[in-house]
Structure 1
Amino acid sequence: MRSWQVFQASEVLREIEEATPEPVGSEVIVSVSHCGLCHSDITLWKGIFDMGEKMVSIDSIGMKHPLTLGHEIFGTVTAIGPEATGVEIGDRRLVYPWLGCGECDACRANQENLCMQGKPLGMRRPGGFGSHVVVPHSRYLIDIGDLDPALAATYACSGLTAYSAVRKAMPARPDEAIVVVGAGGLGLSGIVILKALGHENIVVVDVSEDKLETARNAGAHTTVLSVGEDVTRRMVDAVGRPVRTIIDFVNNSETVAFSFPALARGGRIIMVGMFGGQITIPTMRMAQGGLSLIGSITGSLQELRDLVDLAKSGKLAAIPYEYVPKSKINDAMARLHEGRVKGRIVLQEEMA
């Protein structure tokens, strides 16, 4: 098998040839045909998490190089272990990558994405930047029917993360404004999911007019350019009143700083993005305003199944995406790192 691996932080990925793994127990081997490229891959490639008060290296939390990244995975089953059931060689499947330990309270509540001992594909297990991945059980494989496999691959993280965040924003009246901060791949996913669920008042905030145009094409009803001063006032003016729900797909010091003062009483910010930073929150206002700051990390296996069902229903529009051959992965990583991508890049395995 081939894989493109990170040997040193921020260095170009190296193409490696190694033995294709053999499945044991309930394991399933999936030959990767499509793998979405995610900002999380850039963070792991750089090797540093911005935790606000300090910078934390991935090595310090047990993530050792070399790393085979990639967690938005679609492919074909090529081998199954002797205890694997419910899947056959040749099946084409979307892979749920957010694997837990299977034993903790979060896992037993079917929230493996919240497992403290989790070993997600593309992070703590080799991922879709390789030609093959080892999936520990067939329950993590989802039949997408007739959906486009490249688009479906993005559902495993971008789509799922946005879907889980949107579900946390519910219930909300269809005409009640929901503010989406960030019009990158995650934000665009949030827009089309809100529309698919029947929402009719989506306000999108971004620093790029080009991305706001893309957001409007995806279904945003109102947009706000978040450059200069008075971003909070412009958000409130766009909504027509203080805001009850903000979904922050950027989630850095700047976006939370202009979002928090825009909240109405009972308002909430659903904090999704991992661009890092910190903010000082007035505790009295939190209590007096009945405000909520809600973290949202990826999503559960059932939420991914629900998202795929929504896509199968025909209600979920496609976000912009483009194919890039996996052999051009370093160019694709550079473009994403520099902010030169509209929507998502999907790495495609070249035909032999």
Structure 2
Amino acid sequence: MIALLGKIDPMVRLITAAILLATVLPVEGRAHEIAQMVSNAAVFVLFLLYGLRLSRREVLAGLGNHRLLLPLVAFVFGVMTVAGWGLWQASATVLPPMLALGFLYLGVLPSTVQSATAYSSLAGGNVASSVVAAALINILGVFISAPLFALLAGNAGGEFHGDQLVKVVTMLLLPFVAGQVLQGFVRGWIMEHKQLITRMDRSSIAIAVYVAFSGAVEQGIWTKVDAVGWAGVLLGSAVLMVLGYGGAWLLGGLLRLSHGDRIAMLFAGAQKSIAMGAPLATVLFPSEMAGIVILPLIVYHLVQMIVAAPMATRLRGDREPTH
């Protein structure tokens, strides 16, 4: 049993543990306010670390690959957003309103950085392009995801007030920029302690999921979302995933990208980042809404971790010469 658990992606284990803990021991009342402050601090540290780790040289070197980057940006924030909007509209009559809205929120989010790069490498893709592409998508996500969601959601997502924009800037953009500025002073230490930094990353995300899901548990998510609701979330996530992976792969072929860049587009285009989504949800939504809105994201993230590894292995196998 322990050996089996060891094979599961650590992030999947942490997210599952955070959900289970929030279910049996949610933070409530004054404790929730304190937990929210801890979560906000963790989010700030998370984006500071992103800024410290992402080499400016890598970014500048990869920005010239316009044949990959421009279509990828259009795919992530255009095609996937439209698909998320469509799923929201299609499921609005079947699912609870905030749960259905979660598909739109899922659609506007950027892709992962670490796992997209890792699976691109496993599949034999262009790792340098993958790093820059995923990183660029996440940087743009700080500017694009929240306003785009607010624009499309309208009154259904609540009004996007100026104070929310300030929170996005101070908790996401400001620490990232600070990390870039301080990079020359501490990046060496950061790179020498990769394991510690990875644990801090994962812990920050798990805290955000725990606090958000605690709010959903307090609002009765397990009674509000019935079997039909869970089936709808699973089906909608599966549809978006097929569109994501299938569309990204097809687009890479139509653009006649190299095989390595096509793989980079596949994973950077289809995967969705809970590292951005969970913290951003705690900034944009009241705690009682955040846990429900991110439910499709949690399901999508868990499933993408399951399907990405065999997909990457298959892609590498297809490129290996036969004897």
Name the TM-score class by shorter chain.
under 0.3
Output the TM-score relative to the length of structure 2. Answer: 0.25
Greater share of residues in strand: 1
Output the TM-score relative to the length of structure 1. Answer: 0.23
Greater share of residues in helix: 2
Question: Considering only CA atoms, is the larger Rg found in Structure 1 or Structure 2?
Answer: 1
